[in-house]
Amino acid sequence: MTIVEEKSSINAAGGWAQMRFLPEIGDLSRIVVLGVLVVAGQILYPGFLSPENLRVVLTAVAGIGILAFGMTMVVITGEIDLSVAGVAVLSIVIGGLLLPTGSPALIIGATLLCGLCLGLVNGIFVAKLGVSSLISTLAMLGIASALANIFSAGQATYPEKIAEYMWFGRGALLGVPVPIFLLAVMALACVFMTRSSTFGRKLYATGGNARAALLSGIRIDRVKIVVFAFCGLCAAITGLIESARLGYINPAAFPGLELKVLAVTVLGGAALAGGTGSVFGTLVATLIIGVVNNLLNQMGVSFYMQQVVTALVILVVVVPGMRNRRFVK
């Protein structure tokens, strides 16, 4: 990843590990933004906080949020994954090819395995060959999308007969729609992984100061391979959720998904330089994007104006957190 950033005295003090466990001021400002949006929404639309609308907002962003968790971890290590849209599409297409078998375990298993393997390949290229992740994952995006088209011959398939597959999009657990349930589970798992396990320490060390991490005995290549593989898995889960919601496995799905996910990740406070960012921040950012999109649609703001507004929201939230840096690439 090209984007390098000055690490100030934190590294010198060797205190990077402890720093991560303090509550982050950036997260607080994001929560305030979310709070303001929710209050504004409730004033504008009395039904905004109804369980029905919350369901709409949350299911809409569940897929993007889960993928953003994986992306956040990649970004924390100082890398980037532009291949997620291609990985998601190829994974569901592989599952779609197995639909005639009628075996849910095989279909869902192959989908997830495909995501995991593609992520693994990304990780090996970056960690073992030392290739820029921006370029190698860009190439992977092109290759995976092309393979999805070639394998499916461009044809869509319908998973509606496979109840277990459809469960990922339309099912419910204890009254909670499965996409929302999965978003919560993945959020908890990722927060645990990044905040309170030894893996979390390694993760931030890898992105924060690779040399220091190496000196303290952390195998940064392994850390990177793990996060890329995990991000690939997240892409497959997102593909599963979204294709099941529509009951439609489409080789043309998810155009530009990587940029949407990156926008959420950055909105969540992860700096592309690596070493900073949190899954919790990304979760809040996911909710901000969900609420903004929902409100703009409810207000009938045109699709094209929404693009402009979303861009402004990202700038407004991201810029204040940046001021105290010496320089940033």
Partner 1 sequence: MLKFTRRAAIGGVMSVAVFAATQGCLTAQAHADGVHDVLNGLIASYSEHAKEGMSNKSVGELFEKDGFRDYLDAYPVGGLADGFVWKPGMGATFTGPYSKLEIKAPFTDYIPLPEGPVLDPKKTYKIGFVFHGFNHPWLISLADTAAWEAARHPNVEIEVIDAEFDDNKMGQVIDTWVAKKYDGIVLWPSREAPMGPPVDRAIDAGIPVVSVDRRTSSEKISSEVLGNFYANGLQEGLYLKEVLKAGNMVLNRKDLGSTADSIRTGAFLEVIGNVDGFNIQGNYHTNSQRTLAFQSTADALQAFNDISVSFNTGGEEAMGALDAIREAKRLNSAPDGKKIVILANDDAKEVLKEIADGNIDMVSPYTPLIGDIGIRAVIKHIGAKEGLNDAPPKLIMTPNLPMITKTKMVIEGVETMTPDEWPYAYGPAVN
Partner 2 sequence: MIIAEATSAPAVRASGLAQIIREPMLWLVLSILVLGALTSPHYLSALNIQNLLRNAALVGLLATGMTIVLITGRIDLSVAANMVFSVIIAVVVTSWIGRELGLRWIVKGNTFAGSPLIFVVISLLTGTAIGALNGVGVAYFKVASFIMTLVSLTALRGLSYLATNGAPFYLKGAFFNWLSDELWLGVPVSFVLLVVLVLFAHAFLSRTVAGNRLFAIGGNETATLYSGITTNRYIVASFALSGLFAAVGGLVFTARLKSVEAALAQGYELTAIAIAVLGGVALAGGTGSLWRVLTAAVGFSAGLNLLAIWGVPTWYQNLAIGAVLILAVSLTRLNHKN
Does residue number 273 form part of the binding site for partner 2 (CB under 8 A)? yes
From the list 7, 299, 244, the residue with the least C-alpha distance to 107 is: 244
Q: Would you say how long the chain is, in residues?
A: 329
Distance in Å, CB of 30 to partner 1, minimum: 22
Distance in Å, CB of 155 to partner 2, minimum: 13
| C-alpha Rg value of the chain to the nearest Å | 20
Distance in Å, CB of 140 to partner 1, minimum: 18
Does residue number 6 form part of the binding site for partner 2 (CB under 8 A)? yes
Does residue number 103 form part of the binding site for partner 2 (CB under 8 A)? no
Interacting stretch for partner 1, rule CB under 8 A, among 108-116, 180-188, 189-197, 243-251?
243-251
| Phi, then psi, of 301 in degrees rounded to 5 | -70, 140
Among 31, 120, 138, 296, binds partner 2 (CB under 8 A): 138
Positive/negative CA dihedral, 60, 63, 66, 67? negative
Identify which of residues 155 and 196 has a Cβ nearer to partner 1 in the complex.
155
Touching partner 1, residues 130-189 (CB under 8 A): 149, 152-158, 160-161, 170
- When CB distances are held under 5 to 8 angstroms depending on the partner's kind, the choice from partner 2, partner 1, none that residue 271 binds is partner 2
Size of the site for partner 2 (CB under 8 A): 53
241: Cβ contacts below 8 Å, ≥ 6 apart: 62, 63, 66, 168, 169, 178, 179, 182
| Rounded CA separation 51/69 (Å) | 25
Name the site residues for partner 2 (rule: CB under 8 A).
1-6, 80, 125, 129-132, 134-136, 138-143, 145-147, 149-150, 259, 262-263, 266, 271-273, 302, 304-308, 310-312, 314-315, 318-319, 322-323, 325-329
Name the site residues for partner 1 (rule: CB under 8 A).
45, 47-48, 50, 52-53, 56, 59-60, 149, 152-158, 160-161, 170, 242, 245-248, 250-253, 255, 293-294, 297-300, 302-304
